[in-house]
């Protein structure tokens, strides 16, 4: 029972980590990406179409590219046309959901669902681990392990490489970064591509990794939970992954306990409540700092 | 790194200009400026606000193109299209607003944009640290490179701002008021750093209006006033009084105002103090302002004027002390309540705070009066009442506009200020807090605004005048109070206010 | 010049979106002109269709207005969706609980309670914004999801209609239902309330002190502060008003077309409202036109499916794209802004 929950928690965590890391990178460059959910949905669809009678690896590339290009285009609107990032993200989600349903109807005559033959599923990795360890960690898809490997990689790139340094600089102070010759707009657009790429992969994980089919509600708002994860993780990769894991556990528990009078819908709001609480605590801390400073100098 | 390290100190001209001119409309910000900073020297550029320093710096840095004249690098004419062009020939600038990035360590800030690298784009930390240590030693300062920008003390950040330019290959350092945010011991440290860097062959353009500091380190001085070079000469042999006279000029017109007939006290400031970083806050400031008089506050920018303005207007909370308006304690009252008691506030920042440039002239004229019965009742505004009021104000104050529905942003600087004056003087306020009332206004506009201020006083109004134009202060004020470092340093009645003595107390000397 | 400018800033994004939509339709093998023409006839051709469009426009007027009043003072809320849900649930709960009350009392009571619930929902982000300066965009976005989760839980458990399998409350009392204006259309007096609110907004905007203070506060916050306007307080008030308007909109959906609270009843009214408000740039007539346009598109999309195979989702695509392009700056405004800036700079004010 508990091992089952932990196993499915890891399953639920995978798309969250992928999308949250993408959002984290985009945020580090200075943009709050609210369109993760839409890009995830797009990735899920593209992946299953390519994987049907095709190859899962190609499907991953396709899903990643589709998400990446969308993320890049979205960021172009924000950087070059100075559009508000939140509104663009929300609009993008609506437009992508509409476009996908339009496409499903126009191309397959189906409403919201897509079941295709011969879907090449993501391979699962069996680990020779004993007992409970095996039950929790064995049998996960390759993308799960890639997702976890991306956590230290992201942390390393952000903190230890020139690219990461420049990305953070552009995110914190675009004007100062531009003054020393960096190009914050291009940095943000690049980060937007990465955010879309990882969200696309997250979507592919859901469609060709978990269920093997597509429906329009497949993301279940996970793009927004990913948003909560990197907010709650204060943009630190490990903290963000830990939050994603926590939300994954909520998800697994809630699925398991569904229909037993358990308030599943309330559990689902926890990530969002936590974001508000974090923002409140940060605000209170900032005020205390400001007051402390005044008192010190006064 | 500087190519001429330790070489011919005090050599030929490194950076200069001939006939540099730049106008904004009718205002000549730079008017045929000639100067030359020689290699391996500290060259001070001094002048009051609006003297043209910032425009000149923008030209030298490639942020603005001159209308006429040429920038000279190593004696040869160059054209800068961007700050990158300037840095390419070794010219870098430290702005008054710091450009270090929070969330990054000082080391990361130093190397940003030109990071020593290893495989996979990883930062080569040992190399970076060695370079940082080398630079700190060169400058003779101690820097904790692993501090985050927001944790580092202000003088350390300042030093990194400067060292970063050298790291990026500059040997000409333009420092814009670098001591403005520092406390005295930190200032001494910074001046020592500048001397160190000069001795290593760097050229420093030191922009300042703190004359002590200029005289302490500068080899040569160029004084600007009203966009022109007053003098450009070696610093040796200059004393503070002479420099202050060159900077502020002599009053060109004799004070024309009638003598004041001060009445009852309307505004009493008692022991006011406020917090702030460095040594620029206000400390134990007291003042009594009476009906029918103009009290001027004289001081070099950043010595506590902003705090006085903030505390009197109610936009800044007082940490210590109290304010009374006609005997009533207003220390904790909001701006709105103070205005209701008869305070009028002419903001020094016309574009952001004094006016709403995108709104119409009429909308700007009723601001702060919108609740008054004349403009409507029960929370409704009457367009007819507003229109007649606006027409009346436009006529009385001779505001040149096509219609009161025009956005204020379309007016000239002088007419914009008249709109602000017309609003603030409406409905007989008791006190006018007038800050930089003629900044960016042409000569005709200045005369009109001065007339209004004097007329207000003659009608029994009390004026607290904060200005960086000493000439304006001397012309208008019945008393001048000088401040330095957030403290009151002297008080001069009208007539007795010899410019030179005021100048000295503005620079920290306490009047007997 | 001013009118030309506002017309351009509104029409340009719409034109771009229509072109993209046409490309999508072409790619899918439809004739875009024919589809657009069909959409227009289905939306506005004839009394019955017009009534359906106005009915669909009603919630969008509320959410559009809710966004506009907050945007006006520079508060960038995206929380209308959440307030709409809590307002709707509150109205439904009173509507099926206080069945003994007479209609003249019950309906207004439900509407007021809906508005109050929507208002209270905006209290936390409002206080966080006013007191601590916490960015309202993220908090209001999060509160939307919380509102959806909370209301869904309530109607799946405590408030579930007995015997009902789907997530909804019992029907509200007939006495609480709003009068239908043109039966069988779902157009109710709710639409009249919406229009009345728009008129009130138009008057408030031009004639009330609050309209003036929000105008200058939104354009120049420091100026507003210096003239004695309590900006944090004003921002809080406008966010609460925004929540109340959206909550009222939710209540009207419940007492009007739906008759009870159904989980997830909103098809993103709050978000479409943002698009409406931005497109209209806060102009009351613009909000009405925008809401009717979006409302018309969605009903037309639904009926057009009955006789042709054009997927209704083209409407969602257009909606999302309009949201994106309405906030984009195509240099039109930029051009005018630059011109003003040049004029101002020419008058010679130096930093």
Question: Which residues of chain B make contact with A168, given a CB cutoff of 8 A?
Answer: 101, 103-104
pLDDT on residue A117: 87
Locate C225 and state its tokens.
Answer: 């502060």
According to the 3-state scheme, what is the secondary structure of A230-277? HHHCCCCHHHHHHHHHHHHHHHHHHHHCCCCCCCHHHHHHHHHHHHHH
pLDDT band at residue A297 under the 50/70/90 scheme: very low
CA-nearest residue to C263 within chain A is A265
Of C208, C212, C228, the CB nearest to B335: C228
A168 HSE (CA, 13 A, CB side): 22
Question: Which residues of chain B make contact with A235, given a CB cutoff of 8 A?
Answer: none
Rounded distance between C-alpha atoms, residue C84 and residue C82, angstroms: 5
* Residue C146 touches chain A, beta carbons under 8 Å: yes
For all residues of chain C together, what is the average pLDDT? 86
Rounded distance between C-alpha atoms, residue A20 and residue A9, angstroms: 16
Among residues B483, B492, B430, the alpha carbon closest in space to that of B461 is found at B430
Question: Which residues of chain A make contact with B128, given a CB cutoff of 8 A?
Answer: none
* Residue B84 touches chain A, beta carbons under 8 Å: yes
Res B512 pLDDT > 60:
no
Q: List B343's β-bridge partners, or say none.
A: B431
Q: List A161's β-bridge partners, or say none.
A: B122
According to the 3-state scheme, what is the secondary structure of C11-42? HHHHHHHHHHHHHHHHHCCCCHHHHHHHHHHH
Rounded distance between C-alpha atoms, residue C96 and residue A61, angstroms: 53
* CA-derived radius of gyration, chain A: 20
For all residues of chain B together, what is the average pLDDT? 86
Phi/psi at B34 (5° precision): -120, 135
CA C180 to chain A, closest CA, distance in angstroms equals 31
DSSP B441: -
Measured CA to CA in angstroms, residue B449 lies from B199, B249, B425, B436, C191 at distances of 49, 21, 11, 11, 54
Rounded distance between C-alpha atoms, residue A183 and residue A11, angstroms: 38
* Residue B29 touches chain C, beta carbons under 8 Å: yes
B residues 377..416 contacting C (CB < 8 A): 379-381, 383, 407, 409-414, 416
Rounded distance between C-alpha atoms, residue A294 and residue B281, angstroms: 11
CA C225 to chain A, closest CA, distance in angstroms equals 20
B residues 445..504 contacting C (CB < 8 A): none
SS3 assignment, position C304: helix
Res B219 pLDDT > 60:
yes
CA-nearest residue to C346 within chain B is B25
Of A163, A169, A297, the CB nearest to B276: A297
Cross-chain residue pair C349–B334, CB shorter than 8 Å: no
Rounded distance between C-alpha atoms, residue B365 and residue B397, angstroms: 12
Task: Supply the DSSP string of B56-114, one letter for each residue.
Answer: HHHHHHTSS--SEEEEEETTEEE--SSHHHHHHTTEEEE-SS----TTSBHHHHHHTTS
Measured CA to CA in angstroms, residue A107 lies from A99, A101, C27 at distances of 12, 10, 11
C residues 298..337 contacting A (CB < 8 A): 311, 313-330
Mean pLDDT for the stretch of residues A152-173: 95
Rounded distance between C-alpha atoms, residue B108 and residue B124, angstroms: 11
Q: List B380's β-bridge partners, or say none.
A: C208
Cross-chain residue pair A180–B101, CB shorter than 8 Å: no
Among residues B422, B348, B490, B321, the alpha carbon closest in space to that of B477 is found at B490
pLDDT on residue A39: 97
Q: Which region among B1-5, B120-124, B343-347, B483-487 has the lowest average model confidence (pLDDT)?
A: B1-5
pLDDT on residue B203: 95
- Nearest 10 degrees: Cα torsion B185, B187, B191, B194: 120
Residues of chain C where predicted confidence (pLDDT) is lower than 50: 333-351
Mean pLDDT for the stretch of residues A254-262: 72
**CA-angle at B196, arms to B193 and B145, nearest 5°:** 50
Cross-chain residue pair A97–C316, CB shorter than 8 Å: yes
What is the number of residues in chain A? 298
pLDDT in tens, C249-307: 999 999 999 989 999 899 889 988 988 898 888 899 999 999 998 899 888 877 777 77
Q: Which region among A5-19, B214-228, B299-313, B359-373 has the lowest average model confidence (pLDDT)?
A: B299-313
The sheet with strand B343-346 has its strands ordered as B343-346, B431-435, B462-466, B294-298, B479-484, B487-493
Question: Which residues of chain A make contact with B149, given a CB cutoff of 8 A?
Answer: none
Q: Kind of pairing, strands B462-466 and B479-484? A: unpaired
Cross-chain residue pair A180–B112, CB shorter than 8 Å: yes
Q: Which of B21, B25, B312 to mutate to test the interface with C (most CBs of C within 10 A)?
A: B25
Q: Which residue has the higher pLDDT, A265 or B127?
A: B127
Cross-chain residue pair B352–C345, CB shorter than 8 Å: no
Q: Which residue has the higher pLDDT, C157 or A271?
A: A271
Question: Which residues of chain C make contact with A287, given a CB cutoff of 8 A?
Answer: 132
Q: Is the dihedral of CA A204, A206, A211, A213 positive or negative?
A: negative
For residue A54, the Cα-to-chain-centroid distance in whole angstroms is 25
Helices of type H across B433-492: 443-458, 470-476
Of the ranges B271-275, B282-286, B342-346, the best mean pLDDT one = B342-346
* Residue A228 touches chain C, beta carbons under 8 Å: yes
Question: Which residues of chain B make contact with C212, given a CB cutoff of 8 A?
Answer: 363, 366, 370, 381
CA A169 to chain B, closest CA, distance in angstroms equals 6
pLDDT in tens, B142-200: 899 999 998 888 888 889 999 999 998 899 999 988 887 676 678 888 899 999 999 98
Of A99, A266, A280, the CB nearest to C149: A266
Of A83, A107, A283, the CB nearest to C324: A83
Whether the link from the prior residue into C184 is cis, omega within 30° of 0, is: yes
Rounded distance between C-alpha atoms, residue B286 and residue B263, angstroms: 19
Rounded distance between C-alpha atoms, residue B45 and residue B43, angstroms: 7
pLDDT on residue C332: 52
B371, containing H or E segment: none
Q: Which of A235, A272, A291 to mutate to test the interface with C (most CBs of C within 10 A)?
A: A272
Inter-residue contact B38 to B232 (CB < 8 Å): no
Cross-chain residue pair A162–B115, CB shorter than 8 Å: yes
For residue C61, the Cα-to-chain-centroid distance in whole angstroms is 5
Inter-residue contact B296 to B479 (CB < 8 Å): yes
Q: Which of B330, B334, B370 to mutate to test the interface with C (most CBs of C within 10 A)?
A: B370
| Plot region of C299 (φ>0 → left; ψ -120 to 50 → alpha; else → beta) | alpha
Inter-residue contact C282 to C73 (CB < 8 Å): no
SS3 assignment, position B37: strand
Mean pLDDT for the stretch of residues A281-292: 81
pTM for this prediction: 0.83
Question: Which residues of chain B make contact with C213, given a CB cutoff of 8 A?
Answer: 370
pLDDT on residue C268: 86
CA B218 to chain C, closest CA, distance in angstroms equals 26
Inter-residue contact C78 to C239 (CB < 8 Å): no
DSSP C208: B
Cross-chain residue pair C137–A102, CB shorter than 8 Å: no
Question: Which residues of chain A make contact with B277, given a CB cutoff of 8 A?
Answer: 293, 297
pLDDT in tens, B372-411: 999 988 889 999 999 999 999 999 998 888 889 989 988 8
Question: For the purposes of burial, counting CB atoms within 10 Å of the CB of B228, is it exposed (0-12), middle (13-18) or buried (19 or more)?
Answer: middle
Res B250 pLDDT > 50:
yes
Cross-chain residue pair C340–B410, CB shorter than 8 Å: yes
CA-nearest residue to C332 within chain A is A81
Task: Give the position of tokens 């503070």.
Answer: B240
What is the number of residues in chain B? 512
């Amino acid at each position: 029972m508990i091992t089952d929950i932990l196993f499915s928690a890891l399953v639920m965590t995978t798309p969250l980590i992928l999308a949250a890391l993408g959002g984290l990178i985009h945020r580090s460059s200075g943009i709050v990406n609210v369109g993760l959910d839409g890009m995830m949905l797009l990735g899920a669809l593209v992946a299953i179409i390519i994987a049907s009678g095709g190859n899962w690896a190609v499907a991953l590339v396709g899903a990643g590219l589709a998400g990446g290009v969308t993320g890049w285009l979205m960021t172009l609107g924000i950087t070059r046309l100075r559009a508000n990032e939140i509104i663009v993200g929300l609009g993008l989600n609506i437009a992508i959901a509409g476009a996908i349903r339009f496409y499903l109807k126009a191309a397959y005559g189906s409403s919201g669902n897509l079941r295709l033959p011969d879907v090449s599923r993501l391979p699962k990795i069996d680990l020779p681990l004993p007992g409970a360890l095996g039950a929790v960690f064995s049998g996960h898809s390759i993308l799960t392990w890639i997702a976890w490997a991306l956590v230290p990689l992201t942390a390393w790139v952000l903190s230890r490489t020139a690219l990461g340094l420049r990305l953070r600089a552009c995110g914190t102070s675009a004007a100062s970064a531009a003054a020393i010759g960096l190009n914050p707009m291009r940095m943000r657009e690049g980060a937007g591509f990465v955010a879309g790429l990882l969200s696309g992969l997250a979507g592919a994980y859901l469609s060709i990794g978990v269920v093997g089919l597509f429906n329009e509600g497949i993301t279940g708002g996970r793009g927004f939970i990913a948003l909560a994860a990197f907010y709650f993780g204060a943009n630190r990769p490990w903290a963000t992954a830990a939050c994603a894991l926590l939300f994954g556990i909520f998800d697994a528990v809630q699925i398991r306990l569904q229909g037993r009078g358990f308030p599943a819908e309330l559990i689902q709001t926890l990530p969002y409540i936590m974001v508000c609480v974090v923002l409140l605590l940060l605000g209170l801390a900032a005020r205390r700092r400001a007051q402390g400073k005044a008192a010190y100098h006064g | 790194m500087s190519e001429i390290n330790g070489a011919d100190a005090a050599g030929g001209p490194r950076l200069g200009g001939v006939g540099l001119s730049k106008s904004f409309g009718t205002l000549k910000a730079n008017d045929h400026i000639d100067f030359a900073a020689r290699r391996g020297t500290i060259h001070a550029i001094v002048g009051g606000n609006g003297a043209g320093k910032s425009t000149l710096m923008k030209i030298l840095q490639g942020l603005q193109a001159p209308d006429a004249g040429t920038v000279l690098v190593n004696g040869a004419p160059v054209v800068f299209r961007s700050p990158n062009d300037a840095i390419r020939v070794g010219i870098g600038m430290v702005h008054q607003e710091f450009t270090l990035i929070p969330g990054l360590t000082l080391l990361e800030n130093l190397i940003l944009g030109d990071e020593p690298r290893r495989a996979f784009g990883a930062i080569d930390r040992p190399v970076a640290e060695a370079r940082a240590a080398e630079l700190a030693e060169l400058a003779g300062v101690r820097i904790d490179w692993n501090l985050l920008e927001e944790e580092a003390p202000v003088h350390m950040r300042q030093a990194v701002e400067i060292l970063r330019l050298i790291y990026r290959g500059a040997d000409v350092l333009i420092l814009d008021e670098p001591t403005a945010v520092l406390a005295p011991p930190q200032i001494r440290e910074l001046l020592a750093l500048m001397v160190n860097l000069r001795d290593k062959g760097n050229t420093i353009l030191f922009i300042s209006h703190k004359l002590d500091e200029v005289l302490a380190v500068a080899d040569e001085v160029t004084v600007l006033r009203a966009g022109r070079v007053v003098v450009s000469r070696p610093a040796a042999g200059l004393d503070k009084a002479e420099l202050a006279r060159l900077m502020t000029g002599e009053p060109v017109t004799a004070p024309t105002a009638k003598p004041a007939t001060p009445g009852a006290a309307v505004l009493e400031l008692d022991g006011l103090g406020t917090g702030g970083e460095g040594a620029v806050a206000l400390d134990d400031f007291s003042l009594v302002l009476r009906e029918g008089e103009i009290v001027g506050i004289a001081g070099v920018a950043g010595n506590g004027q902003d705090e006085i303005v903030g505390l009197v207007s109610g936009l800044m909370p007082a940490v210590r002390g109290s304010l009374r308006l006609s005997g009533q304690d207003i220390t904790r009252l909001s701006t709105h309540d103070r205005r209701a008691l008869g305070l009028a506030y002419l903001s020094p920042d016309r574009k952001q705070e004094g006016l709403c440039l995108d709104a119409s002239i009429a909308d700007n004229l009723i601001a702060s009066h919108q609740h008054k019965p004349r403009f409507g009742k029960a929370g409704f505004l009457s367009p007819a009442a507003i229109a007649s009021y606006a027409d009346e104000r436009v006529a009385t104050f001779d505001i040149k506009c096509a219609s009161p529905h025009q956005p204020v942003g379309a007016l000239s600087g002088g007419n914009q200020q008249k709109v602000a004056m017309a609003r603030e003087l409406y409905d007989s306020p008791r006190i006018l807090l007038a800050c930089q009332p003629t900044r960016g206004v042409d000569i005709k506009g200045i005369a009109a605004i001065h007339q209004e201020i004097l007329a207000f006083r003659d009608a029994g109004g009390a004026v607290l005048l904060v200005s960086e134009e000493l000439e304006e202060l001397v012309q208008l004020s019945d008393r001048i109070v000088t401040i330095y470092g957030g403290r009151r340093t002297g008080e001069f009645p009208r007539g007795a206010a010899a410019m030179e003595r005021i100048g000295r107390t503005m620079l920290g000397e306490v009047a007997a | 010049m001013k009118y030309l400018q506002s017309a351009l800033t509104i029409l340009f994004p719409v034109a771009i979106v229509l072109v993209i939509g046409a490309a999508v339709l072409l790619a899918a093998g439809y004739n875009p002109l024919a589809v657009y023409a069909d959409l227009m006839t289905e939306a506005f051709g004839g009394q019955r269709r017009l009534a359906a469009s106005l009915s669909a426009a009603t919630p969008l007027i509320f959410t559009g207005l809710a966004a506009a009043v907050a945007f006006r003072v520079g508060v960038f809320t995206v929380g209308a969706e959440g307030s709409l849900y809590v307002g709707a649930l509150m109205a439904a709960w009173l509507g099926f609980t206080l069945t003994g009350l007479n209609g003249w009392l019950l309906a207004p009571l439900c509407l007021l309670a809906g508005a109050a619930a929507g208002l209270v929902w905006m209290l936390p982000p409002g206080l966080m914004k006013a007191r601590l300066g916490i960015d309202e965009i993220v908090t209001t976005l999060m509160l939307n999801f919380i509102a959806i989760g909370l209301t869904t839980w309530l109607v799946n458990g405590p408030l579930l209609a007995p015997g009902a399998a789907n997530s909804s409350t019992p029907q509200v009392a007939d006495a609480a239902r709003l009068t239908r204006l043109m039966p069988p259309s779902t157009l109710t007096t709710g639409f009249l309330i919406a229009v009345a609110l728009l008129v009130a907004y138009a008057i408030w905007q031009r004639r009330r002190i609050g309209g003036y203070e929000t105008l200058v506060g939104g354009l120049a916050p420091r100026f507003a502060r210096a003239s004695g306007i309590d900006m944090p307080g004003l921002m809080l008030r406008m966010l609460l008003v925004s929540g109340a308007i959206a909550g009222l909109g939710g209540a009207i959906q419940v007492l009007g077309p739906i008759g009870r609270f159904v989980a997830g009843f909103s098809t993103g009214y709050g978000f479409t409202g943002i698009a409406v408000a931005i497109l209209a740039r806060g102009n009351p007539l613009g909000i009405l036109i925008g809401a009717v346009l979006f409302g018309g598109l969605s009903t037309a999309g639904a009926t057009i499916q009955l006789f042709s195979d054009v997927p209704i989702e083209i409407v969602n695509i257009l909606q999302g794209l309009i949201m994106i392009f309405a906030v984009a700056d195509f240099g039109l405004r930029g051009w005018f802004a630059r011109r003003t800036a040049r004029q101002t700079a020419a008058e010679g004010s130096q930093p």
